[in-house]
């Protein structure tokens, strides 16, 4: 039972719910730390965790494996640039802009924000970026400011020429960009985290909430809202946006920027008195799954009630359909419960492609790309024309720098989509 106790300790310390990354990932990290500490028994290691001032942080550093790069998911940064030029600069020429990056990982996101400010003409004397991470190892890497090839992805790398200096096989961030960013090791869930902090105008908190159970997610969003200016912007990860339903926020208009402005559309207005127009909500389409699981909402989307296509096609009943329940839980942001249910289904039915698919999405959202690829490949093995699994495999391979397989899966997804009957939207 020691592993369960260690998982609970991680949950209490950093909010990590093990089902979002898989118990295997936690066990692997524990075994690595046991080897480094020369401890052979997991119960003995658990006791070390309870009494050591440093070992729990070392385990956190091992569990939290950052998967990040500069300008990761470009749309949020494009929206930030638009907001800076069209709203902030014209109205706040004398104010200091405050931004928060949490978790900042090894610094790529925080430095990307600094480059956005520099390129918009906002100097370091007019802006401050607080970059927070629970991992001391990540903070040390960020302070070094030297990055290898894996931190620079995509074809548009002009920012590297402007803001970095080559240093052997690595690139070192320029000092003028460093001036914007103030790194700090801290836990956002600590009760005193927000104490004495001035409100932030922009917060980036992407792909952190997916590690938490629902109660911790709500507590984290409450904390972010308390830290945010009354008209501030909050950017989340793509699978976390459903958590903002019924919150005092309105979605930003940019496609796939996953950003929100504090205040409902009917409440929030521009400082010149003109009201903002609410953005129409677009619910993602749903593909027909199988004869047993039709009309299940796509995971991590806004939750909408499914409507049967014909009067004789009944909706799946959650009490009799555990897979449908797993998708519903994922839609509502209960990713840990959805993952646990998928694992139970797979344990009993090894041929259930949809369970592998949904569990793969949960792992992908948590940044566990190795496990996500394995699960999505299993879904495609069981259902070779599984359009959504092929699409996500293309995304995962692209994120891992495997362009050849990314292209191959995208082509297979295109062929699969062409075979979907009219009326069944992928």
State the pLDDT at residue 236.
94
Task: State the pLDDT confidence band at 22, using cuts at 50, 70 and 90.
Answer: low
Average pLDDT, the chain: 81
State the pLDDT at residue 143.
97
**Averaged pLDDT for residues 4-29:** 78
State the pLDDT at residue 271.
43
Cβ atoms of 173 and 167 within 8 Å: the answer is: no
State the pLDDT at residue 320.
37
**Averaged pLDDT for residues 265-275:** 46
Looking at 21-30, 33-42, 89-98, 271-280, which range is the least confident one?
Answer: 271-280
Tell me the two tokens of residue 332.
């509502």
Task: State the pLDDT confidence band at 298, using cuts at 50, 70 and 90.
Answer: very low
Task: State the pLDDT confidence band at 20, using cuts at 50, 70 and 90.
Answer: low
User: Which stretch, 158-167, 204-213, 241-250, has highest mean pLDDT?
Assistant: 158-167
Residue 311 has pLDDT above 60, yes or no: no
Tell me the two tokens of residue 331.
């839609």
Residue 264 has pLDDT above 80, yes or no: no
Distance CA 207, CA 21 (A): 12
Structure letter (DSSP) for residue 297: P
Task: State the pLDDT confidence band at 299, using cuts at 50, 70 and 90.
Answer: very low
- 114 phi, psi to nearest 5 deg: -65, -40
Distance CA 81, CA 76 (A): 9
Task: State the pLDDT confidence band at 279, using cuts at 50, 70 and 90.
Answer: very low
State the pLDDT at residue 420.
58
Residue 92 has pLDDT above 70, yes or no: yes
Distance CA 315, CA 319 (A): 12
Residue range 383-420, pLDDT digits in tens = 988 888 888 888 888 777 787 888 888 888 888 877 75
State the pLDDT at residue 287.
34
Would you say the pTM of this structure is higher than 0.85? no
Residue range 156-170, pLDDT digits in tens = 899 999 999 999 999
Q: Tell me what percent of the residues of the chain surpass a pLDDT of 90.
A: 41
**144 versus 320: which is more confidently predicted?**
144
Residue range 358-391, pLDDT digits in tens = 999 888 877 788 888 999 999 998 998 888 888 8
Residue range 51-77, pLDDT digits in tens = 887 888 788 778 766 678 999 989 999
Helix (H), strand (E), coil (C) string for 105-120: CCCHHHHHHHHHHHHC
């Amino acid at each position: 039972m020691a592993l369960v106790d260690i998982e609970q300790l991680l949950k209490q310390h950093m909010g990590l719910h093990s089902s979002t990354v898989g118990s295997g990932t936690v066990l692997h990290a524990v075994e690595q730390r046991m080897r480094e500490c020369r401890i052979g028994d997991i119960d003995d290691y658990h006791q070390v965790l309870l009494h050591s001032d440093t070992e729990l942080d070392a385990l956190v550093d091992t569990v939290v494996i950052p998967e990040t790069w500069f300008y990761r998911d470009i749309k949020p940064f494009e929206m930030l640039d638009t907001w800076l030029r069209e709203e902030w600069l014209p109205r706040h020429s004398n104010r200091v802009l405050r931004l928060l990056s949490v978790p900042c990982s090894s610094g790529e996101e925080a430095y990307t924000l600094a480059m956005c400010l520099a390129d918009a003409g906002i100097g370091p004397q007019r802006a401050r970026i607080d970059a927070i991470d629970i991992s001391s190892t990540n903070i040390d890497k960020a302070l070094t400011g030297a990055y290898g090839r894996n931190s620079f992805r995509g074809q548009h790398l002009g920012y590297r020429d402007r803001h970095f200096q080559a240093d052997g096989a690595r690139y070192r961030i320029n000092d003028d960009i460093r001036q914007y960013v103030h790194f700090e090791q801290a836990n956002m869930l600590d009760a005193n985290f927000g104490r004495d902090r001035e409100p932030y105008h922009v917060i980036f908190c992407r792909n952190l909430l997916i590690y938490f159970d629902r109660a911790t997610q709500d507590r984290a969003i409450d904390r972010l809202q308390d830290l945010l200016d009354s008209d501030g912007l909050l950017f989340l990860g793509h699978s976390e946006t459903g958590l903002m339903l019924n919150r005092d926020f309105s979605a930003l208009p940019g496609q796939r920027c996953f950003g929100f402005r504090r205040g409902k559309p009917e409440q929030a207005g521009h400082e010149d008195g003109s009201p903002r127009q609410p953005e129409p909500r677009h619910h993602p389409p749903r593909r027909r799954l199988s004869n047993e699981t039709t009309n299940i909402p796509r995971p991590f989307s806004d939750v909408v009630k499914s409507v049967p296509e014909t009067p004789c096609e009944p909706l799946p009943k959650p009490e009799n359909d555990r897979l449908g329940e797993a998708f519903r839980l994922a839609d509502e942001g209960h990713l840990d419960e959805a993952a646990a249910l998928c694992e139970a289904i797979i344990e009993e039915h090894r041929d259930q492609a949809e369970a592998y698919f949904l569990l793969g999405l949960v792992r992908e959202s948590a940044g566990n790309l190795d496990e996500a690829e394995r699960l999505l490949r299993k879904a495609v093995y069981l259902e070779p024309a599984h359009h959504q699994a092929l699409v996500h495999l293309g995304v995962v391979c692209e994120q891992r720098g495997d362009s050849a397989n990314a292209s191959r899966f995208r082509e297979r997804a295109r062929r699969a989509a062409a075979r979907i009957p009219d009326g069944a939207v992928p």
